[in-house]
Structures are given as C-alpha cells and as structure tokens.
Structure 1
Amino acid sequence: MLVIGIGAGDPEHLTLQAVKAIGRVDVFFVLDKGEVKGELVRLRRWMVEEYGRGGCRVVEVRDPERDRGAVGYVGAVEEWRSRRAEVFERFIGEELGEGETGGVLVWGDPGVYDSTLAILEEVLGRGVVAFEYEVVPGISSVSALTARHRTSLTQVGRPVHITTGRRLEAEGVGDVDDVVVMLDARCAFGGVSGFDIYWGAYLGTPDEILVSGAVEEVGERIREVRAEARERKGWIMDTYLLRRREPTE
C-alpha cells in the first residue's frame, strides 16, 4: 500500500515523489464524502488520470458518516475510525490482487491531522489481512497557509503549538506565542486577544480565501466570510495561525 499526500488543493502541490508513487499504483481507494464534497474526489481522479499507469483502477466507497451529535467526541471519532477500518479491510482483501499495489491519495499530509495511518494500523491489528505500507509526505494546509500569507511558521527560539478549535476553546493559548489551529467549526479565536491571525480557507484551490490582521479587528470579518463560504459550497476546510503581538510602549 502507498499512502500518498497530495497537498492542500493545488494540483501543483504534488511532489515529484508523489507523482512517481501514483505511477506505481494498480488500484486506488477513494472514500466518497458525497456530492457536496464531490470536487475532492474529482481532483483525485484527475491526478490518477494524469499520472497513473495505464490500466490502473479506482475503487470508490462511500465514507461512513460520523455521529456529530454524540456526547463523547473522542468516543465518536474512535467509533467512526473503526467503521472506516472495516471499509479499508474489505478494499484490501477484495480489491487487491496478488502482487498488486494499492494507493490512497490523502489530502494535505498523511501525518498532520489525518486518520489514514491510524486506520491502517487498526486494520493490521485485526489480523484479517496482511500488508505493508509506505507513506509519501505531502504539502500540508499549514505549509500552504504560511506560504500564502508570506510568513514563517516558527520564530527564533520559540515553540509552535498545533491544536484544534475544540481544545483552543477549552484551554486557551496558554503561554505559547504561536498556535496553529485546525478543525475549528466554531471560530474559537473569538476568545483570544493580543494576537494576530493568519487565516485561510480552501487553500490552494480557486476558491481560496485569505484574511489576516489583529484578531480584535478581523475576527468578525472571518466569521462572516467563513459562514458565507460554507453556505455557498456546503463545506469548508480552513486553518489559521495565531501569533502573539509584541507589546508596544
């Protein structure tokens, strides 16, 4: 199996390593998230057609729905991952022939807030199917975000904290100067002051939106832009960096 990072949305985010890996795959596995996110599947199919070997196949399976109304968030995610693992297990056991290489095209980077690697480890742990897998890194939304805002992710001698909107809302920023926030459906930056924000949605796509400035000044604009974009497209993927402002005299 090859787990291939394909970048944050721009087809040119594909690395040379990823292009070569796509060319090695016999059967691609794609989780279909429904018509609302159909463009994510279409981009993957374009990459397969452009760089895949002749005769390779694409197997599409509907992605199991996660119970977003569940009381326990961690438990709901674990249950959802297990149902995904069952789907992967069937794909590997039923669709891959002897000596064939399977491939999964992962949005962004497989090692940054993505469940694919954990799911494959769960499949291996069940012992029903046996396989080996390689991981090809991709350009993450974090890398794309800082590049588009022409800023660095790190500052000299300072740590960077990567978290989720849920945890930011519950824990705040603490004493960290730079915080990357992902999976924030509720705009948790609203409870933060004294920070600049570098926000981006649909990074690397024609629908890309960028907003930056002091949280106190642009926070409401981000909320409005985000709500309008989600209403228009039916989904949104956004990421942002919070950077503490130096105190002024």
Structure 2
Amino acid sequence: MIQLSLIGIGTGNPDHLTGEARRVIGAADLFLIPRKAAKSDLADLRTQIIGAVRADANIAYFNMPVRDDALPYLDRVDAWHDEIARIWTDTIAAQQAVRHVALLVWGDPSLYDSTLRIAARLSPAPEVRVIAGITSVQALTAAHAIPLNTLNAPVTISTGRRLRDHGWPAGCETLVVMLDGGCAFQDLDPDGYDIWWGAYLGMAEQITEHGRLSDVCARIIARRAAARAAHGWIMDTYLLRPVRDLPRN
C-alpha cells in the first residue's frame, strides 16, 4: 500500500515548517508538485522548501487541469477533482519502487483545501497521513496582532462566493473570508464593518491593510490588483467585524 503524506507548509515561509513536516519531507520517496501556467513561482516555492530540507528529493511535476466553466459550480469542481486524482494515479504509477508519496499543501490540509477529497478518489486507496500546518487564518491574525474571536463569541469561516451570494451570516460577530477573487467585501455597508486584510501572509511580499471599509476598501482593491499583476498570482485572506462588535478589553 502507498503511504500518502499531505504536508501543511503554511503560507510559503520555510520557517512555517514544523519539525514533523521536516521529518516527513526527509523520509518521502516521491513528491508531487503541481504546475500552473500563471503561477510557476508557486511550484518553485514548493521545490525550494523541499530543497532546504534535502538535496536528493525525487520530484514529479504535473500540469494542473483546467476547470470546465460550462458546468455548474459543484459539478465543475467534482469533475476537476476526478481529473487531478487521475493525474496523481498515473504519475505515481510511472515511478518505480515508490512507497511513500508526499504533497506540500499551502496552509493546512483541513481548511478550505481539497487535497484530502482528491486523495479519497485514488484507487487503490493509499494510507493517508496529514501533517498539520499553519493556516492563513493564523498568519492573518498574527500579522495584525489581533485575537481571532471577540470575548466569548464564535467565529465563522467562509468564502467570498458565499458572502457575495448570501450576504452577512446571521448572528455572526467575526467572519473570516477565504478564496475571494472578487473582493466580496465591497458589497457590504462600508460604514458598518472593519476589515483586517492580508496577502502573501508570512512571505517576504506580505502586504496588509486594516480599517473601516469606507476608508480602506478602494485601497485594498487597488493594492490587490497591483500585487497580482506584479506576481501573476495572489493569495489573500481577510477578517471582518461589524463596528458594534469590535474586540472588547
């Protein structure tokens, strides 16, 4: 049976690797690294992280398939996951004497990441091991030096798509938004919310903004567009709170 290790690597900073992650990187027979045409430096970052731990790594690069935009969203993602699983299976099968395969996952495999769902589609089924990593949520609150929750209150973690389509969640005091390529926060009342935003969190390119939406919304959108144009990709996360629910001492 193949052992498949999904290694959380934080947000691209080699210092985010845990000791456990380093040990597993040192033990793997094969690393699968995806390539995207517009995000080649993400593959380079993964390669550099592996290379900082060991110089003899066996790395297989593969091209990520493209989603079929003609399909409904859930069907589109489902078919995309099937295709990725097929590519993993074929790539592993092309190697000889491989028993321990590893993938480096941005953030942590448990949070808004589909690596575990893709791994469940492999046949024959591997033995899956997850090595926890620093999430973008942790990196965001650390960058702004703020607590994640208000006093004795829950936190909702959601996506830009849901914020755009359904608005502010009922009863929510703190909303963390991920996977938002459309800046859904601009659809909220700009005077009713404060935002803590960050991109490339934990990396040398890190940029952050904080303030009332009415004051920083346009600046975030402009900085985000400029950073994406400069790097060819962007990963950003933000936290929102209604003005009445600011953190209490």
TM over 0.5: yes
**Structure 1 residue matching 2:48: 3-state secondary structure:** helix
Give runs of aligned pairs for residues 89-168 of structure 1, distance below 5 A.
Answer: 89-95=89-95, 97=97, 100-123=99-122, 128-168=123-163
Alignment equivalent of 2:7, drawn from 4, 16, 22: 4
Distance 1:199 1:96, change over 3 A: farther
Letter in 2 for 1:112: L
Sequence identity percentage: 41
1:182 aligns with 2:178: yes
Contact 1:109 1:138 in 2 (8 A): yes
Across the aligned residues of Structure 1 and Structure 2, the Cα RMSD in angstroms comes to 1.7
The Cα shift of 1:83 comes to 0.6
Aligned residues: 240
SS in 2 for 1:30: strand
TM-score normalised according to structure 2 size:
0.91
3-state SS of paired residue (1:133): strand
Contact in 1 for aligned 2:51/2:57 (Cα 8 Å): no
TM alignment of 1:171-210, pairs within 5 A:
171-173=166-168, 174-193=170-189, 194-210=192-208
1:32 is the counterpart of 2:30: no
Q: Can you list the C-alpha shifts for 1:130-188, whole angstroms capped at 9, x where unaligned? A: 42010001111111011001011122221111111110011111320100101111111
CA distance in 2, matches of 1:160, 1:172: 16
What is aligned with 2:16?
Answer: 13
Q: Distance in 1 between matches of 2:236 and 2:96?
A: 34
Change (3 A) 1:190 1:57: same
Counterpart AA for 2:177: V
Contact kept in structure 2, 1:96 and 1:102, CA below 8 Å: no
What stretches of structure 2 of length at least 5 have no aligned partner? none
Shift of 1:40: 1.2
Secondary structure (helix, strand or coil) at the match of 1:78 reads: helix
Per the alignment, residue 73 of structure 1 pairs with 73
Unaligned segments of structure 1, at least 5 residues: none
TM-score with structure 1 setting the length: 0.91
Alpha-carbon separation, structure 1, partners of 2:71 and 2:94 = 35
Q: Provide Cα deviations, 1:181-201, integer angstroms capped at 9, x if missing partner.
A: 011111110122311100011
Alignment of structure 1 residues 231-242 onto 2, 5 Å: 231-242=229-240
Q: Does the 8 Å contact 2:150/2:245 carry over to 1?
A: no
| Runs of 4+ with deviation above 6 angstroms | none
Q: Which amino acid aligns with 1:200?
A: G
* Cα drift, residue 96 of structure 1: 5.4
SS at match of 2:120: helix
